[in-house]
Amino acid sequence: MPNAADETPLDVIAVGAHPDDVEFACGGTLARLVQQGYQVGIVDLTDGEPTPHCSGPAERLREAGDAAECLGIHKRINLGLPNRRLFDCFEARVALAREFRLYRPRLVLGFGDKTPMASPDHWQAMQITDAAIFYSRLTKWDDQFEGLPVHTVPQHLYFRLAFDPEILPGVASHLTVDISDTLEAKLAAVRCYRSQFARKEYLLERVQAAAVVAGQAAGVAAGEIFAAPRSICVDDLFRAVLPYAGRSAVSEQRPPEIL
Each residue's pLDDT tens digit, 18-40 = 999 999 999 999 999 999 999 99
* Rounded CA separation 26/30 (Å): 6
Task: With CA atoms as reference, report the closest residue to 256 among 220, 203, 214.
Answer: 220
Q: Using omega within 30 degrees of 0 as the cis cutoff, is the peptide bond preceding 82 cis?
A: no
Q: Contact 18/185 with Cβ under 8 angstroms?
A: no
Look at residue 180 and tell me whether its pLDDT is greater than 90.
Answer: yes
pLDDT digits (tens, 9 = 90+) for 144-157: 999 999 999 999 99
Confidence of residue 86 (pLDDT cuts 50, 70, 90): very high
pLDDT digits (tens, 9 = 90+) for 39-52: 999 999 999 999 99
Look at residue 229 and tell me whether its pLDDT is greater than 90.
Answer: no
- Residue 96 contacts by C-beta under 8 Å, 6 or more apart in sequence? 15, 43, 45, 79, 128, 129, 132
The two beta strands, 75-81 and 40-46, are parallel
217 by Cβ neighbours in 10 Å (0-12 / 13-18 / 19+) ranks as middle
What homologous superfamily is domain 7-241 in, according to CATH?
A: LmbE-like (3.40.50.10320)
Q: How far is C-alpha 46 from the geometric centre of its chain's CA atoms? A: 15
Global pTM value: 0.87
Domain spans of the chain, in order of start: 7-241
Look at residue 198 and tell me whether its pLDDT is greater than 60.
Answer: yes
Percent of residues, the chain, with pLDDT higher than 70: 89
Look at residue 253 and tell me whether its pLDDT is greater than 60.
Answer: no
Average pLDDT over residues 66-84: 98
* Rounded CA separation 26/259 (Å): 17
Type and span of the H or E element at 79: strand 75-81
Cβ atoms < 10 Å from Cβ of 107 = 17
Look at residue 95 and tell me whether its pLDDT is greater than 70.
Answer: yes
Look at residue 170 and tell me whether its pLDDT is greater than 70.
Answer: no
Residue spans of beta strands (DSSP E) within 121-206:
155-159, 173-178
DSSP per residue over 190-247, as a string?
HHT-HHHHTT-HHHHHHHHHHHHHHHHHHTSS-EEEEEESSPPP-S-HHHHH-TTTTS
Task: With CA atoms as reference, report the closest residue to 90 among 47, 151, 145.
Answer: 145
Q: Contact 17/124 with Cβ under 8 angstroms?
A: yes
How many residues belong to the chain? 259
The packing angle between helices 90-103 and 121-136, to 10°, is 60
Confidence of residue 172 (pLDDT cuts 50, 70, 90): low
Rounded to 5 degrees, what angle do the CA atoms 114, 118, 121 make?
65
Task: With CA atoms as reference, report the closest residue to 214 among 170, 156, 246, 258.
Answer: 258
